[in-house]
A and B are shown apart, each in its own frame.
Chain A
Amino acid sequence: MLRLTEALHHQMVAHCLTGLPDEACGLLGGNPETGDVATCYPARNVAASAKLYEVDPKDYLRADRDAEAAGNSIIGVFHSHTHTEAYPSPTDVAQAPDPTWHYVLVSLRDIRPVVRSYRIEGGMITEEPVTVSSQYNPQ
C-alpha cells in the first residue's frame, strides 16, 4: 500500500501538469516498510519527451541524500502519462530498477488526473491501494 497526504498528492499531480506537454517525473521518499510517503521530490525529465521520462540523475542524488538524512529512503518513483491510462507501459516494466519500489502513474489523459500505484517485480505488474489522508500520520 502507498500512503500519501493530500498535500503530497497535490504536489505530485501539480508537477505532472506543469510538465505538459512532456511527461513529468519525480521520486518519493518515505518508509520502505509501511509505504508511508514523507516527501515528494519533483525531478527534471532529462528525456524532455511526451512519451519517455528519465529522472535527472543529479535530482535523484539530491533526493536520495535528503531522504537518507531524514531517516527515510527513496521508496518509489512517479511519472505522468500524458495521453494514456495510468498503467505501466512495457518500457516502464522493462526499466523498473527496484522490485521494492512503488511505481506511481499519473494519467493526464482525461480532464481529471488519475493516480494509481503498482509494484513491478520480475516483469509482473501488481496494482496496490493508494490511500490519501489529510495529515501525515505514519504507521
Chain B
Amino acid sequence: MSVTVHLPTVLRAHAGGAKDVTADGTTVGEVLTSLAAEYPGLSGQVINGDGTLHKFVNVYVNDDDVRYMSALDTPVTDSDEVSILPAVAGGATDLPGTRPA
C-alpha cells in the first residue's frame, strides 16, 4: 500500500526538497515509520522515540486530524493523502495585570 505524504516546508529539506513523497503502510504509523526509514532526517521529527505522535505536529488523513481518529493506528488506503503540518503557536508574555502577585 503506497500513500502520498504531503510535507510542510520545514521538513522538505530532509526529503530532497520534495513537497510530496510516497511511503508504504496500512496505517498512519506504518506510513510515517517507512517514511523515516527512507529519509532518516525525518526520524524523530514526527514520531517520538516512544512511538507516539510528536506534540507539535498535526497529521491528517485527507481532511481529518488523526488525533480525533485512531491516532497512529488510523488506517490508510492507496487513495488517501497524509498531510503533516507543524503546530503554529506562540503569544505575548507579561500582559499587564496578569502576572501573579
Is the Cβ of A51 less than 8 Å from the Cβ of B95? yes
Stretch at the interface among A2-10, A12-20, A98-106, A128-136: A98-106
Is the Cβ of A99 less than 8 Å from the Cβ of B10? yes
A-B contact count (CB 8 A): 100
Stretch at the interface among B25-33, B35-43, B80-88: B80-88
Interface size class of B (residues with CB under 8 A): 20 to 34
Across-interface contacts of B8 in A (CB, < 8 A): 64, 74, 97-98
Name the residue of chain B whose CB is nearest to the CB of A77: B88
Name the residue of chain B whose CB is nearest to the CB of A101: B9
Q: Is A127 an interface residue (CB 8 A)?
A: no
Task: Name the 8 nearest CB pairs between A and B, nearest first.
Answer: A52-B91, A97-B86, A92-B90, A98-B10, A54-B89, A55-B88, A51-B95, A57-B58
B residues apposed to A, CB below 8 Å: 6, 8-10, 19, 56, 58, 60, 63, 65, 83, 85-96, 98
